[in-house]
Structure 1
């Protein structure tokens, strides 16, 4: 029972950075998706799964084509929905409002947006559908939600992880009734 290893890749930079881009369909800065160097050639890839948002999908399409594997689009790998805060700079929001969100993202979710627990629930639902050696091209929030689901870490602990654009997170997921996993590699600061 060695479990399966899956890889979560954060998309390349969008055209506009520094904004709360949840479900906003911001195109990538690089038409090919900007994942160059993110997934090493030596890494076995059985299938590419992607969020349906363009900033992730562009890189996923390129990766699937280069590797000659199936591309599956799965909305469950979308970023947290920031509701009324979509596409705003965090510094444009009242400091106390944003602080309450960071402190308790369930009780103080963005107006019209999604609670942290909802993001965790949909990522938790998506994890069992991944096959061994899948690469998921997704968003920092969904990656953190996966780590939270698999390790039991709370939002403060996983939000402390630095997940820059093009970060690659490898996870081993053990079989069983409830998700259980371990982080086996976290690659950040990759060549651009």
Structure 2
């Protein structure tokens, strides 16, 4: 069996880059949407999924429309919820709280925010529900969570992965037939760094 090809694309640039954007629903720039469309031109997929946040959903709908594919928004593909930090500049945060978060995002989640393990759980559930070649337009945190659950990277290792806006991480997944993924392979990374 050849497995399922899943392309994870980070959304295009939001209107206010550089902020801690989690669940805040900032729209993408027109240039960000156009770059996502361009990145998708040579990808093979049967359906398009996305986060339900505008910066991912808007380009996903346009890509699906251009390719004659179906599109469905799924909250499980959202970015980590930064709680009270959502929409703030990292420079406006207490440096010690921010350092504690980056050191252990599960134990030191943002105030009223989401734990890293919660993000990993929902992304894993979303991955296990994919049954055909798919493009997922999502967020950098969700892409890192996918790598963590598929390949066992811990929270310290995962911060080394960089995904520029519109980066595409292509994976091949082998479902086990019981709602889990038995094996995974990184096929390609375009616009990022492992």
Relative to the length of structure 2, the TM-score reads 0.92
Unaligned runs of 5+ residues in structure 2 are none
C-alpha contact 1:48 1:137 (8 A) present in aligned 2: yes
Alignment deviations for residues 152-191 of structure 1 (CA, whole Å, 9 cap, x no partner): 11122222111010000001112225433121111116xx
C-alpha contact 2:9 2:135 (8 A) present in aligned 1: yes
Residue 80 of structure 2 is matched in structure 1 by 80
In structure 1, distance between residues paired with 2:90 and 2:184? 32
Unaligned runs of 5+ residues in structure 1 are none
Residue 181 of structure 1 is matched in structure 2 by 184
Is residue 161 of structure 1 aligned with residue 127 of structure 2? Answer: no
Runs (4 or more) in structure 1 with deviation over 6 Å come to: none
C-alpha contact 1:56 1:137 (8 A) present in aligned 2: yes
In structure 1, distance between residues paired with 2:137 and 2:163? 13
C-alpha contact 1:6 1:131 (8 A) present in aligned 2: no
C-alpha contact 1:32 1:62 (8 A) present in aligned 2: no
Residue 36 of structure 1 is matched in structure 2 by 37
C-alpha contact 2:5 2:45 (8 A) present in aligned 1: no
| Secondary structure of the structure 1 residue equivalent to 2:38 | coil
TM-aligned CA distance change 1:156 to 1:72, over 3 Å: same
Deviation at 1:42, TM superposition (A): 3.0
RMSD: 1.4
Relative to the length of structure 1, the TM-score reads 0.93
In structure 2, distance between residues paired with 1:43 and 1:107? 38
C-alpha contact 1:100 1:108 (8 A) present in aligned 2: yes
* Count of matched residue positions in the alignment of Structure 1 and Structure 2: 188
Deviation at 1:2, TM superposition (A): 2.4
Residue 151 of structure 1 is matched in structure 2 by 151
| Secondary structure of the structure 2 residue equivalent to 1:9 | strand
The answer to which structure has the higher helix fraction is 2
